[in-house]
Amino acid sequence: MDNKVRKTWTSNLGFMLAAAGSAIGLGNIWKFPYIVGANGGGAFVFVYLACILLVGVPVLVAEMFIGHRGQGNTVASYNKLHKSNRFWQLAGWLGLSSAFLILSYYSVIGGWIIDFEVRSLMNDFAGMDEAQIKNILPQIFSDPLRQALFLSIFSLLTVGIVRLGVQKGIEKWNKILMPALVIVLFLLLANCMFLPGFFPALKFLFYPDLSKLNYASILEAIGHAFFTLSVGVGVMVTFGSYLKTGTNFVRMGVTLALVDTFLALLAGIVVFSCVFSFDIEPSVGPTLIFETLPILFSKISGGYFFSVSFFLLVSFTALTSSISILEVVVAYIEETFEIKRNHATLMIAAAFFVVGFLCVLSFNQMNHVTIFGFSFFDFLDKLTSSLFMPISALLTIIFFSWVLPANKGVEAALERVESRVIKNFFIYCAKFITPLLILTILLLGL
């Protein structure tokens, strides 16, 4: 399929919104608080911020640029930029595989969120005590049919929007949903300021006790930096390929990272204010927001309103992310096999639903099955964020800063950056710091 039929964003702002919609998702509101909790708080946040700046942003810029110059899906863009050596498409392949696997488990969590939204609408939390609320998620885990139902609803929504066309779906929805999410988060924050756990939460998040750090948490911080910025998965390559004109990629990358980090920290403050007010263990893991927030909602005035709007908005941010992930795979299948978008979308949907259902079963019927000691669900998460995404990112950054000739790679991406200092810092990072950090962490992880 040639470039004439490639879709484009209506404007660079449209791209920015779509990229923000992809980046801001369950990673910010669900995953960030629980991994901070599990890794001891402030020290982890500190490492995470360093990873975003030194690793996340350079790879983000590289991906957007490769997509824009390559004008193809996540595999084709690498090939088009380096016709004589097809090795680098491996970065695209790893991204593509991660996209498929992430979509499968991400949709399961999307299903839990919709389930919580339905419970909020029915005002379920109001009459429950803390122990009952903490018990909701374990109940959901033990019920494969209920999970499959909500997984189907979430998947159908994702597929429905991607079939409709990305720009209209993503650009339009993000314009409405992102500001709304920020407003609800601020309202929740305002409520949390009056909780006894507010200051302990700030201390927990921002006081870096470096003695709590270990290699595993650094690996997790890098993995999460990729996950939360949607890099190493081909999203930014695919989205960059829909950019009509060049842009200041560094400014875009930094803005995106700032907005994404700001929202994650905001969600962290809200969640930990509840954790320290209602006697919840900060390190409980993935169930964290499903316990803390409903308990808060059951206690504050206007809890019904907050609960309904919060889970609705989280569903939408999950959707804007899952749409972007599905788009990576759809663009690849559609362009490579010249299949109609409609058919490509449905085929992939059927496949990721099956893998998603296996994730559902890993919480109940198949909970005795482990892969390298992980449940199937956790295995997909670990495989993608600790292995596939970092390797894809490593190949991308080497390709961008060492393999492509400078005037077609790193320096071309900096064309519109005026400050010499920023240019030099960025080039230094992209050539040395970023690849070395990713490599070190990968080796330590292995």
CB of 34 to ligand PHE, least distance (A): 13
Among 9, 17, 18, 22, binds ligand PHE (CB under 6 A): 22
Neighbours of 121 (CB within 10 A): 13
Integer Cα distance of 363 and 108 in angstroms:
11
Among 325, 331, 361, 410, binds ligand PHE (CB under 6 A): 325
Tokens of 22: 């992809």
Instruction: Please identify, using beta-carbon distances, which residue of 125 and 226 lies nearer to ligand PHE.
Output: 226
374, β-bridge pairs:
371
Phi, psi for 386 (deg, rounded to 5):
-100, -10
Sign of the CA dihedral 195, 200, 201, 203? positive
230 near ligand PHE, rule: CB under 6 A: yes
| Centroid of chain to Cα 157 | 18
233 near ligand PHE, rule: CB under 6 A: yes
Segment contacting ligand PHE by CB under 6 A, of 25-33, 46-54, 185-193, 300-308: 25-33
Integer Cα distance of 56 and 160 in angstroms:
31
Instruction: Please identify, using beta-carbon distances, which residue of 252 and 404 lies nearer to ligand PHE.
Output: 252
Integer Cα distance of 134 and 111 in angstroms:
18
Tokens of 135: 């018990």
CB of 228 to ligand PHE, least distance (A): 4
Segment contacting ligand PHE by CB under 6 A, of 37-45, 137-145, 226-234, 244-252: 226-234
Integer Cα distance of 48 and 117 in angstroms:
30
Segment contacting ligand PHE by CB under 6 A, of 241-249, 318-326, 401-409, 438-446: 318-326
CB of 127 to ligand PHE, least distance (A): 32
CB of 199 to ligand PHE, least distance (A): 27
CB of 364 to ligand PHE, least distance (A): 25
Among 17, 18, 23, 140, binds ligand PHE (CB under 6 A): 23
CB of 272 to ligand PHE, least distance (A): 18
Contact predicate 371/379, CB 8 Å? yes
Binding residues for ligand PHE, total number by CB under 6 A: 15
386 near ligand PHE, rule: CB under 6 A: no
Residues 156-185 that bind ligand PHE (CB under 6 A): none
383 near ligand PHE, rule: CB under 6 A: no
Phi, psi for 371 (deg, rounded to 5):
-120, 120
Residues 66-105 that bind ligand PHE (CB under 6 A): 102
Contact predicate 239/64, CB 8 Å? yes
CB of 233 to ligand PHE, least distance (A): 4
27 near ligand PHE, rule: CB under 6 A: yes
Among 77, 158, 228, 375, binds ligand PHE (CB under 6 A): 228
35 near ligand PHE, rule: CB under 6 A: no
Contact predicate 234/328, CB 8 Å? yes
CB of 88 to ligand PHE, least distance (A): 20
Contact predicate 430/401, CB 8 Å? yes
Number of H helices, E strands in the chain: 24, 0
Find the length of the chain: 446
Tokens of 421: 């200092």
**Which amino acid makes up residue 239?**
F
Among 158, 321, 386, 392, binds ligand PHE (CB under 6 A): 321
Segment contacting ligand PHE by CB under 6 A, of 19-27, 294-302, 337-345, 353-361: 19-27
Tokens of 119: 């419970």
Contact predicate 146/363, CB 8 Å? no
Neighbours of 298 (CB within 10 A): 21
Binding interface with ligand PHE (CB under 6 A): 22-23, 25-28, 102, 227-228, 230, 233, 235, 321, 324-325
